[in-house]
Structure 1
Amino acid sequence: MNRIAYLNGDFVPLGEARVSVLDRGFLFADGIYEVSAVLDGKLIDNDSHLARLERSVGEISLALPVSLPRLVEIQRELIARNGLADGVVYIQVTRGVADRDFHFPEGATPTLFLFTQAKNIIESPAAKTGVAVKLVPDLRWGRCDIKSVALLAQVLAKQAAHEAGCAEAWMTRDGFVTEGGSSTAFIVTADGTVVTRPNSTAILPGCTRKALLALAAEGSIRLEERAFSVDEAFAASEAFMTSASSFVYPIVTIDGRPVGTGQPGPVATRLRELYIAFARATAV
């Protein structure tokens, strides 16, 4: 716990950061979070993440307590104070402290909390070997496009995956894959087409997903934004997932069944290379 965090205007040792038990994030999960990757001490695709943060707080009528430029300053200060080379910066904003009642409190000051986590994103063994996923029912609420701190359904999904020896859960609804517990789901069809579900209230609009689709289009990789079924996933030549903290991970088994050859495929491998090059070229 030697890391430095930011809480409501102050930089403090993470182990000493304290939030009231009456904070609405604690009582109601009334808050939003965001995660930006850090590579070589620089922020990756941060504008996209902050735009999503701004959209999410707007969807629940929650005002950010600082401006976006100030938020970037705080992120960079945390990276510097923690000597963070590779990893992530976590941001959480809640509606603040008030006596417990369901309606929005008047005059409450939002709680703003940031901290860093070190993570070897580039040299992750999972990126080289590929990962296993487990299929679970999608039990989430109807506004999955909002990056809410209410993550109990994802916690249960990822715990089920963990107990099965898998790195991620793919959530399913009506026979179709929605998304991962903390990632966007992709498959590659037999003809080499990359397929991922289109943005809607059913999934979180992934920032890494957005950048990767643009990179794939520039690289003349065929794309389809449509829902894909569990059966299609089992029959796919490749599968992979994307997130800020993993970039691109090949998926080699789904519910214990090998995907394609059961090894990381060329499309996922190429897209990971393209994203890493994009990240290094655009990091700030």
Structure 2
Amino acid sequence: MRNNNSLIFPNVGRIGLYFFLFIAALYFLIPLYLILVTSFKSMAEIRWANILSLPQEINFEYWQHAWSASCTGLDCQGLQVGFWNSVRILIPSVVISVLFGALNGYAMSFWRPKGANLLMIALICGAFIPYQVMLYPLVRITNTLNIYGSLTGIVTIHVIFSLPMTTLIFRNYYLTLPMELFKAARVDGAGFCRIFISIVLPLSVPIIAVATILQVTNIWNDFLLGMIFAGKENLPMTVQLNNIVNSQLSERTYNIDMAATLLTAAVPLAVYFLSGKYFVRGIASGAVKG
């Protein structure tokens, strides 16, 4: 009897787990499905057809309109302007924040300067302070430095807000590396930069992938910081999307709005689909240890 129960209950638990995962997948997939099918429907189909029904034909006209002809106020160049602005913001912000996070984590893990633990606590506390608390002081500081409303200003802001998290990620990963490598390099006469470039960085590929994926997602999806610090000429894609949706004064063109939403989300989705295995591998290699 005991053996029968041991055979039955694991199966019941497994079925329950699969059912929960199925419901969780539907919770995320149904909205994505609605956005996707709506982006291909004409306004007549949207008004009169079933919301779950497939479009009568696949028409990329609304995607093209969202990309190159949608209006944000008096400017009707579509999302393409915001896309290239987001690329110009994203690349330097990710590279600098990941590099500085790696350097900080390396220094706090292997060199451990005086006050490193207090500095780490301060960084962690800073990571949990809401953005809204620091917006006004940062506006005043960037304005004083004459970088407010510029590409340099928004990149600097993203790097500042990213450093606590990237430092924590790299520090926890480096704590899992054998200290003997570091000590052997010191004995051989290698200094701070030599050890970092020749030993630590080659071992950091998995965690660099994790930090890069997180930074790409966070910076690309940012709305608040981009709206405040980027300036009119550098507004990112998320801000442009908001302007397109809220600039319609007559009929609400849901098909164009949905196409614009998917275009805005395409980059982080592509990053996760193409790099998901590296993200999992980096996490498994020690990203959450320490």
Query: Into which bin does the TM-score normalised by the smaller protein fall?
Result: under 0.3
Q: State the TM-score, normalizing by the size of structure 1.
A: 0.24
Q: 1 or 2, which has the higher strand percentage?
A: 1
With a CA cutoff of 8 Å and minimum separation of 6, indicate the structure with the bigger relative contact order. Answer: 2
Structure number with greater Rg is 2
Q: State the TM-score, normalizing by the size of structure 2.
A: 0.23
